[in-house]
Amino acid sequence: MSVAHPPLRAVLLLFGLSAACLHAQAAPTGAAVFARCTPCHQTTGVGIPGAFPPLAGSSWVTGPVDRPIAILLHGLQGPLTVSGASYNGMMLPYGTGVAMTDAELAAVLTYIRTNWGNRASPVTVADIARVRAKTKGRTKPFSEAELLALR
């Protein structure tokens, strides 16, 4: 049955679309959550030279998973070296300041670790919970030295 009957095709299409919508509700997709990061880091993860560091090719993104989790949970205060370039800005936290669920954090971190040539392991909700527990009570953003001490 290579050419489906048109009404049947429509039914199959609707079925596929609603299944996709249900899925999106159940689990946030990394691409959707990443829309919150693109004003600064850009849709292709290249950032803006001198202002917003790149996520593509960044060892902060692809290195030990606790580091990017800590950045999202508690924020980051420069100075910070990313791929050999120096930045001295500040990124606000998403885990405590702006509400983001652990599922959204895991999805967006998995997305940035596996796109634009980045090849690192996915991030799970259990990883987020572990770093939340480990950094509990923290009220300050992370510095570069503190991030490097995390592994």
87 near ligand HEC, rule: CB under 6 A: yes
- Of 26-45, binders to ligand HEC (CB under 6 A) are 36-37, 39-41
Q: CB nearer to ligand HEC: give 39 or 97.
A: 39
61 near ligand HEC, rule: CB under 6 A: yes
Q: Which of 65, 70, 73, 76 binds ligand HEC (CB under 6 A)?
A: 76
Size of the site for ligand HEC (CB under 6 A): 27
DSSP string for 54-91: -STT-HHHHS-THHHHHHHHH-EES-EEETTEEE--EE
Q: Angle 131-132-133 (CA atoms, 0-180°, nearest 5)?
A: 90
Cis peptide before 68 (omega within 30 of 0): no
Segment contacting ligand HEC (CB under 6 A): 12-20, 23-31, 60-68, 123-131? 60-68
Rounded distance between C-alpha atoms, residue 86 and residue 130, angstroms: 30
Taking the complex as a whole, the smallest distance from the CB of residue 144 to ligand HEC amounts, in Å, to: 7
